[in-house]
Amino acid sequence: MVKPIRLMGQFPPLPPGRAVRQILRDGLLGQWRLLAVTAVLPMILALLVDFAGTLILELRGQRGVVLSLDVIVIAVVTFLLIELVVGGLYTTNVTRLLGIGIRQGRLQATPEWRSAFTRVFLRLASLYLPGGLLIGTGFLGYLLIQAYSPVPQVAPLLVIIPGLVVLLLYTRFCFVVTAAAVGAPYTFGDSMRATGGITMLMLGLHLLFCVPLLLVQLGLQSSAASPSVFGLSYFGYLVLTQMLFLLRVAVFTVVNLVCFVNRTGWAPGAHRI
């Protein structure tokens, strides 16, 4: 008998030990081959987008220039394409393969899949755009304080605090992304209720598994700003950066899927009550 999705009443507890075991044993380690094969197409797309953005800046003589309009526009467009389109593609595929595909066979680009990808893209956009605006504003304040404030030591707080706020909001609303990928009828309000008792657990899981990958990825992106765009060093940084990006997406997706299934009782064919 298929379990229904719980939207009201009591949600079952989620012991941290069980969550970590399922994330590692059943997800990241148990399905690493599936995750790697599924990442091939997103990896190619991410490399092309990142390289195209860098090449445009190189040809315009704007690469490495700070606060240039060209740099800002290219950076924003590249970020949105990689995070929303490529990240949405990989999130959809991983969630459907781990949540549905093992039971239904190989993933195919059916109308149902296209509908799921569209829903995931829209949910991610609704989370990333406000979050990006908040972090971008904090980063602008960081640059201004670094340049003009007599106490520049407080500048990093303008990036750290918005980042933590965005992570908290993502944690509370992340179930809508997972639900969109598998076709479950879940709203932002449903996600708020379902994550209400496990917010600190999910924050801890994201901080443990995902934030270190994000920091290393940002460090590699900074390192890639100096080498020649046609040099081997740049391509090495480029490949490592996008590998870490896809690993981060896979980790986020597996963490959210494990918490979603345990918390809501979702299974293929589940219905809303």
Work out the number of other CB atoms within 10 angstroms of the CB of residue 107: 16
Query: CA-CA distances (angstroms) from residue 234 to 63, 72, 102, 240?
Result: 13, 20, 38, 10
- Rounded Cα–Cα distance for residues 83 and 70 (Å): 20
**pLDDT for res 2:** 36
Of 46-60, 86-100, 129-143, 163-177, where does mean pLDDT reach its minimum? 129-143
Residue 172 above 70 pLDDT?
Answer: yes
For the CA atoms of 194, 93, 242, 169, the dihedral, rounded to the nearest 10 degrees, stands at -20
In angstroms, the CA 228 to CA 29 distance is: 36
Percent of the chain with pLDDT over 70: 87
pLDDT tier, 121 (very low <50, low <70, confident <90, very high otherwise) = very high
42, pLDDT greater than 60: yes
Read off the pLDDT band of 44 (50, 70, 90). Answer: very high
Higher pLDDT, 109 or 97: 97
Exposed/middle/buried for 106, CB within 10 Å: 0-12, 13-18, 19+? exposed
User: pLDDT band at 107, cuts 50/70/90?
Assistant: low
Question: Highest-confidence range of 62-66, 205-209, 217-221, by mean pLDDT?
Answer: 205-209
Q: In this predicted structure, what is the pLDDT of residue 105?
A: 45
Report how far residue 38's alpha carbon sits from residue 17's, in angstroms, rounded to the nearest whole number.
28
Asked if residue 123 has pLDDT above 90, the reply is yes
